[in-house]
């Protein structure tokens, strides 16, 4: 399992307008800029732009994760443990949202399971959603967000971990809200979304 996560929203038209042989370089420059991001004092939120001279890309910093993928992984593991105790409609909605972003889904290990997003050639661990795929994620989040409190008791009983990441429901809910912010901002700008874990 990788330990770092980078989540970007990207002006897809900027990538598509570039010559095909330059597109991968643009994406790599966005994901791995030569200059470190100035994150001093940033607890949560957007870094605009996320790379020097690249106003077509922004990076999101998740609350209290320090850029680590582990909270996302353990949120998925917690969901796996308590999802059976959630209302079926809400469970289906969050299954769709979480399996698109951080969770292997109910069919983990099943080679016939659907693949969410697009894997970019040359960046095998990247998950990319073009702008036309983002509204579906936004709708899933819009359906789930008002009902998050329904998850509190099932999480406390079946999903909480006394140590490490995702100890409390509030940590779990904060991470989901951050993902809601990411898909919402991508949708508002009609941009795409990339998640890179390494």
pLDDT range class, residue 45, cuts 50, 70, 90? confident
What is the pLDDT confidence band of residue 127, given thresholds at 50, 70 and 90? Answer: confident
Copy the structure tokens of residue 137: 């994620």
pLDDT of residue 36: 57
Range of the domain at 179: 5-197
* Cα angle, residue 58 at apex, residues 55 and 63 outer, rounded to 5°: 155
Q: What angle do CA 137, 142, 148 make, to 5 degrees?
A: 110
Q: Which residues pair with 57 in a beta bridge?
A: 10
Chain position carrying tokens 């042989």: 21
pLDDT of 115 > 80? The answer is: no
pLDDT tier at 41 (50, 70, 90 boundaries)? Answer: low
In the structure encoding, which two tokens stand for residue 47, read together? 């870094």
The pLDDT mean for the chain works out to 83
Longest dimension (CA), the chain: 53
Count of domains for the chain: 1
Provide the pLDDT for residue 187: 97
Residues near 141 by beta carbon (within 8 Å), at least 6 away in sequence: 97, 179, 180, 183, 184
Please name which of 80, 71, 72 lies closest in space to residue 158, comparing C-alpha atoms: 80
Structure tokens at 8: 């970007």
Q: What mean pLDDT is predicted for residues 24-49?
A: 71
Q: Which residue has the higher pLDDT, 97 or 51?
A: 97
* Phi-psi label, residue 80: left if phi above 0, alpha if psi -120 to 50, beta otherwise: alpha
């Amino acid at each position: 399992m990788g330990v770092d996560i980078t989540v970007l929203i990207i002006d897809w038209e900027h990538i598509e307008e570039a010559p095909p042989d330059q597109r991968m370089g643009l994406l790599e420059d966005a994901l791995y800029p030569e200059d470190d991001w100035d994150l001093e004092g940033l607890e949560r939120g957007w870094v605009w732009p996320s790379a020097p001279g690249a106003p077509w890309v922004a990076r999101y910093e998740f609350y209290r994760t320090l850029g680590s993928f582990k909270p996302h992984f353990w949120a998925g593991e917690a969901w796996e443990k308590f999802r059976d105790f959630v209302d079926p409609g809400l469970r289906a909605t969050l299954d769709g949202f979480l399996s698109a972003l951080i969770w292997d889904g109910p069919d983990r290990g099943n080679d016939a399971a659907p693949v969410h997003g697009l894997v970019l050639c040359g960046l095998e661990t990247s998950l990319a959603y073009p702008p036309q795929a983002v509204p579906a994620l936004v709708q899933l989040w819009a359906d789930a967000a008002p009902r998050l409190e329904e998850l509190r008791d099932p999480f406390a009983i079946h999903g909480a971990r006394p140590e490490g990441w995702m100890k409390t429901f509030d940590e779990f809910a904060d991470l989901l809200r951050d993902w809601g912010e990411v898909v919402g901002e991508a949708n508002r700008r009609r941009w795409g979304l990339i998640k890179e874990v390494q």
